[in-house]
A = this chain, B = another copy of it.
Amino acid sequence: MNGFWPKERLKLTFTPYDLILKHTFTLANSSRTVTPVMLVKIQFNGFEGFGEASMPPYLGETQKSAARFLGSLNLGQFTDPFRMDEILEYTDKTAPGNSAAKASVDIALHDLTGKILQQPWYKTWGFTPENTPDTSFTIGIDNEETVMQKVREASPYKILKVKLGGPNDRKMIETIRSVTDKPLCADVNQGWNNKKEALEMIYWLRERGVVFVEQPLPKERKDDHAWLTENSPLPIIADEAVCRLSDIEEAKGTYSGINIKLMKCTGLREAHKMIVTAHANQMKVMIGCMTETSCAVSAAAQLSPRSEWADLDGNLLITNDPFNGVKIVNGKIILNEEPGTGVHFISDFQI
C-alpha cells in the first residue's frame, strides 16, 4: 500500500467453546450431550473473520489438539489474506490430520476476505441463491417416545435424516412413519456389516419412502459398496469414505454421491473443488456438517446452491449458538446478503 508503514499482518486468535446439545445425540457407536469446538478469529486491516473447528470426540481431534495446531501456525508471516492457495497450503502442510482445526482457519479466512470484498461468498462464486436445497433434520437413535417427540419438533423440515446402524433399524423407521410421511434419508455411519442384508434392508427402506442411504458398510469395504451401488434401487452416498478432494477419484464407481463436510475436508476452498470434481465425475453432492455453531454452518451454506442435498442442521441442535447467521425457513436454507460467510458474532465473551 505504501512504503513507509510496516505491512499489516494476519493475526490469529482462538478460544475453546462447548456446544450444549438440545438432545443426547446417539450414533451407531456413541452418544453425547456436549460437542467441543474451537472458535477462531483472523484480524487484518480492521476487518475480522470468524471460523470454527467442531470436534465430535469419535473423530479424534480435541480442543487440546486444535489449540496445539493453531498455536503452532505463524499466520503473521502473511500480509495478504487473499493469497489463500499459499496460506492454506502452508496450514495444511504444517501437520497431518487436524482437518477441523485446518477448516477453522479456512472459514475465518473466507469470512475475512468476503468482508473485504463486501460480498457473501455465494455471490462471488456466482451461485444462484434461490437454488439452495431443503436441509434435512437429523433424528438420532433413541427410545420410541423421544424419537416421536423429535419428529414432531422437526415439523418445519421437509426431509428427515435417520441415524441407522443400531439393532432396531426397522423399529426406528416404523416409529417415524407412525408420525410422518416425509421423505427420509438413512445415515448408517458404517453400521451394517453384510452386503446382501444391506441390499435387502435398502429395498425395505425404499418401500418406506427413504430416498438415499449414506455409508451403509465400513468405509474400507470398497468392493462391497461398489456392489451395493450397482444393485441398490437407492443412491449410495459416501461419508466416512470420502474426506478430501483426493478421495473422490477412488469413490467414482463405488458411490453415487459424496457427503462433503468442511470439518473433514479442511474447509470451503477444498469443498468447492470437491463439488466441481464430483459433478464432473457424474457424482451427486450433499453438503453436510457436524454439530456446529452458525459460524461453520453458514460457511457451508454458501456452497449449498451447488449441492443436490444439504444436511445443515448442526446449529439447530444446540442451545448456546454464539453466532447469528444463515437461517432455515420452512426447511429451506435462506442465504442472507451479509458479506463473507454471512455471520455475526453475538456473544459477550472474546475470541
Q: Mark the stretch among A15-23, A69-77, A117-125, A296-304 that contacts chain B.
A: A117-125
- Cβ distance A249 to chain B, nearest Cβ, rounded Å: 7
Report the interface size for chain A: residues with CB under 8 A from the other chain. Answer: 29
Question: How far, in whole Å, are A276 and B271 apart by their CA atoms in the complex?
Answer: 12
For A249, the chain B residues whose CB sits under 8 A away are: 280-282
Cross-interface CB contact of A280 among B83, B124, B273, cutoff 8 Å: B273
User: Which partner residue on chain B sits nearest A80 by CB separation?
Assistant: B123
Flag if B126 contacts A280 (CB, 8 Å): no
Main secondary structure of the interface of A (DSSP, over half): helix
For A117, the chain B residues whose CB sits under 8 A away are: 117-119, 124
**Does A245 contact B280, Cβ atoms closer than 8 Å?**
yes
A329 at the interface (CB under 8 A from B): no
Contact of A128 among B83, B131, B248, B273 (CB under 8 A): B83
Q: Is A204 an interface residue (CB 8 A)?
A: no
Which of B85, B119, B131 is close to A126, meaning CB atoms less than 8 Å apart? Answer: B85
A–B pairs, 12, beta carbons within 8 Å: A82-B124, A85-B126, A86-B128, A88-B126, A113-B126, A117-B118, A117-B119, A117-B124, A126-B269, A249-B280, A273-B280, A276-B276
Q: Which 10 pairs of residues, A with B, have the shortest CB-CB distance?
A: A84-B126, A277-B280, A276-B276, A82-B123, A273-B276, A86-B128, A117-B117, A85-B126, A85-B128, A85-B127
